[in-house]
Structure 1
Amino acid sequence: MTPFRRLDLFCRVVDNYGDIGICWRLAKQLVREHGLAVTLFVDDLVSFRRICPQVDTAAERQQVDGITVRHWRGQDGVYSKDEVADIVIEFFAVDLPPGYIDAMAQCQPRPVWFNLEGLTAEEWVEGCHRLPSLQPRSMMKHFFFPGFTDKTGGLLREAGLEQERLQFDTPAFLRTLGLTDAEIASTKISLFCYPHAPVSALFEVWQNSAQPITCLVPEGVAADAVRAFLGDAGRVATQGALTVRVLPFVPQPDYDKLLWACDLNFVRGEDSFVRAQWAGKPFIWHIYPQDENLHHKKLRAFLQRYAGELPGLAEFALRWNGAPVRGEADNWAAYWTALAAETGAATARAAAWQQQMLSHGDLASNLLAFAATLR
C-alpha cells in the first residue's frame, strides 16, 4: 500500500489527445489500483471529452470515474495548503499556478513534487531520470522519465491489460464496428496520424495490393485524404483492393481493442504509441513534430532500439515522418513492399518487445515506489 492519500496532476493539452490521454490513463490507474484520491487539472475539456464522453465541458469541477476533474483556466488563483495533495505532478514541464506553489511551500511535510517528462528512447534520459531540482523556498522537484529500459520509469500500463488482451474476441469486436465478414478476413490496418502524413500516396498503393486491405480510420483523422477517397460514399468505400471505413472517435478502452484487432497499426504522439506496444502488433509511429526536426532524432533513437533487424519497417517509419533517407525521392510502393515482406519478423518482434517492456514494471507503480523513498 502507498503511504500517500492524495495526488494532483496538472495537464495542458498540446497534442490534441495525447497529453490528456496519458494523464487520464494515469489518473484512473492511480485511483483503481493504488487507492489514491486524484484531482486532474486540465485546460482543454473539449479534447478530453472526445476520449471520455462523460466529461461535461461546461463544468468547473466534476467527478468522472472517481476522479475530481478541475477546469484549469490559467495561472491565476489562490489556493490553501489544505488543497495541496501529498504528491503533485506537472506533466511535461507545465508551469504550476504560482498560488498553488505558494500553498505547497506552506505544507509540512512538503508534497512530493514531480515533473513527469515525455517519452523518448534517447540514452541521456537514463542519466536524468529521478534527478532532483532545487526550487524556490527550498522545495525540491524530481524529474521522472518514462522509458524503455530498467533505468527509466517504464511505460504506463494497467495491471489487467494483458489478461484482457489475451481474452479478447477480435471478430465479435469488429462486427460491433460494422465490418463485414470479408473485411474481417482482410488485412486490417488502423490509421491514426497527424494531418501532414502522406496518406493519399499510401491509399493509392493499397488500392493496387494483391490482398484485400481494410483501413479503419477514427473520425477526423487524415480528413482530406479520407474525404477524397470516400467521395460521396459516406463512411465506407472500396476502390480496388482497399476499403476505407471511418469510425466514430472511440473512448480509450475501445481504442485499445481496435489496436488488438488489427494486423498493423499506425499511431501518433505518445499515448497511442505506448498502447500499440502493449497490443503486441507491428506498428508505425507518427511522432509529434518539433522545431528543427528534433523529433527525427527521437524517432531514430527508438528505431535503433526496436527495429534493428527490420530495415523495411525502419525506412517506412522514417519516410512516414518526413525524415531524410539517402536523399531519394519517395517511392511508397517500394516502401510498402519492403514493410509487407517483414510481416512475420515484425509480428515476432512486436511480441518480444512487449515482453521486454513488461519486465520493467509499470510507470505508475514505479513512480509511487520512488515517491515513497522521498518521504
Structure 2
Amino acid sequence: MARSWDVFCAVVDNFGDIGVTWRLARQLVAEHHQQVRLWVDDLDAFARLCPQADVRASRQTQAGVEIRHWEAQWESVEPADVVVEAFACRLPADFEVAMARRAVPPLWLNLEYLSAEGWVAGCHRLPSLQPNGLSKYFFFPGFDADTGGLLRERELLARRRAFQADPLARRAFLQGLGIDVAANERLVSLFSYEQPALGDWLQPLVDQQPPTRLLVPEGRVLPDLKAWLGVDALRAGDCVTRGRLTVQVLPFVSQAAYDTLLWCCDLNGVRGEDSFVRAQWASEPLIWHIYPQDDEAHMHKLEAFLDRFCVGLEPGLADDLRGVWRAWNRAEAPGPAWSALLAQLPALRAHAERWCVALAEQDDLASQLVAFAARQG
C-alpha cells in the first residue's frame, strides 16, 4: 500500500545523518513506491551527496523524492501518513500540532542511531506517549532479527559481486577517479574523523611490502595527513609518495561511487554510521572510526559490535582486530597488531563475506519500516 512519508533530517555531523536519510528516502520511493518528502535543514550538505540539487530551492524533486528545506511555514504543511524523526531530531512545534489535528493520526517513528548493544532489541518498536496525545515508536536499526535491520537496496549485493568479479570494470572505475593501480599494489581507503596518531599508522606502510596506495576522500582527516606528509596543502587530485606508500586525495563523490570505491579496496577505514554499514556490504576488511561521545560511551558501542563481529574468527586474528580498532578509536599508536592484521587480510576478507551473507538474511531497514507501517494500519 502506497503511503505518504515525511522524513526529517537535522544535519549534525557532516554527512552521516543526511547520508542515511537520503538513502532511505530513495529506497522507499524506488523499491516500495511510497511518496516521500525529505526535510533537510542543511541543503549545502545535501548537495554534496546529490550534486544536481539546488541549494537555494525550498522545494525540489530528486530521484523521485520531494526535497524540502526545513525552514517552512509549518501551519500550511499537512503531515504525511508516516512521520520519521531521524536520530532524535526534534520536529517543529507547529508541525507536531498539525499531526495531532490530522483526521487520521500519522504513524510517528523515531529512527534511532545504529548500535549492536544488547538492550536495543528490548526497546525496538516500543511506543512512547507524547504530550500531544500521539504515540511515538522507537525504531532501532541493528544486526539481528529482533531489530530493524540495516539499509540495503534489493540488488546491492548482486551488483557488488558482479563488479568484484569483473577486473575490467574495476580498472575503468578507478581510472575514472584518476587512480592508476600497479599490479601488486594494495588499495586502502580512509574516510575518518580527525586522527592525531595518523603518522604512527602510516609509517609502517612506508617500509612494508606490498606497496600501498592510500585513497583519502576529502574530509576531516586531511589536516592530520597534511601534517604527517609535511606539505603546505592537500587537495583532490594530489598524490604524494613516501617509500612504498602512495597517498592520493580523492574528490568528494556520490554515494553510489563511494560504495563502488569500497568494493575496490583491500581494506576500508570508515567512520560514523553510513559508511560503516556500506563497508560491511562491501565484504572487505574494515576499520571503524566510531562517532566519539562523552564519557567514552562510544567505546561500549564499539565493543558491542566487536563481540558480534569477531564470532568465528581465529582467536589470534580476533585479538589483533580488537587491538587495532581500539587503538584507532583512542588515537593511540597501533603496535604490532597493525602489521599482523595487514598480513592476514585474506582471512579477514573471507570472514567479511561470511558476515555479509549472515546480515543479508534479515530484512532490510526500509522493508521493515514499510511492513511496520502496514501493521499499524
Tell me if structure 2 keeps the 8 A contact 1:15–1:288. Answer: no
User: Which position in structure 1 is the counterpart of 2:376?
Assistant: 374
For residues 185-334 of structure 1, the aligned pairs below 5 Å read 185-196=184-195, 198-228=197-227, 229=229, 231=231, 235-308=238-311, 309=313, 310-322=318-330, 330-334=332-336
For residues 33-182 of structure 1, the aligned pairs below 5 Å read 33-73=31-71, 77-80=73-76, 83-168=78-163, 169-182=169-182
Distance 2:34 2:51 in 1: 23
Q: Secondary structure at the match of 2:74?
A: coil
1:16 to 9, 14, 17: 14
Q: CA deviation at 1:344?
A: 2.4
The normalised TM-score by structure 2 is: 0.92
Distance 2:68 2:158 in 1: 33
Distance 1:263 1:35 in 2: 36
Tell me if structure 2 keeps the 8 A contact 1:267–1:273. Answer: yes
Amino acid of the structure 1 residue aligned with 2:108 = W
Tell me if structure 2 keeps the 8 A contact 1:230–1:244. Answer: no
Distance 2:366 2:333 in 1: 42
Distance 1:181 1:270 in 2: 29
Following TM superposition, where does structure 1 have runs of at least 4 consecutive aligned residues deviating by more than 6 angstroms?
none
CA spacing shift, 1:149–1:269, aligned 2, 3 Å = same
Tell me if structure 2 keeps the 8 A contact 1:145–1:153. Answer: yes
The normalised TM-score by structure 1 is: 0.93
Distance 1:197 1:354 in 2: 31
Amino acid of the structure 2 residue aligned with 1:315 = G
Q: Which runs of 5+ in 2 are unaligned?
A: 164-168
How many residues are treated as equivalent by the alignment? 363
Q: CA deviation at 1:197?
A: 5.2
Tell me if structure 2 keeps the 8 A contact 1:219–1:246. Answer: yes
Q: Show CA shifts across 1:107-136 (max 9, x none).
A: 122111100000000000000001011112
Distance 2:256 2:230 in 1: 27
Q: CA deviation at 1:333?
A: 4.8
Tell me if structure 1 keeps the 8 A contact 2:195–2:224. Answer: no
Q: Show CA shifts across 1:198-256 (max 9, x none).
A: 32221212111121000000023411233232736870011101000101001100000
Tell me if structure 2 keeps the 8 A contact 1:150–1:360. Answer: yes
Amino acid of the structure 1 residue aligned with 2:24 = L
Q: CA deviation at 1:373?
A: 1.0
Distance 1:179 1:307 in 2: 33
User: Which position in structure 2 is the counterpart of 1:360?
Assistant: 362
Q: Secondary structure at the match of 2:13?
A: coil
Identical counterparts, % of pairs: 49
Amino acid of the structure 2 residue aligned with 1:64 = Q
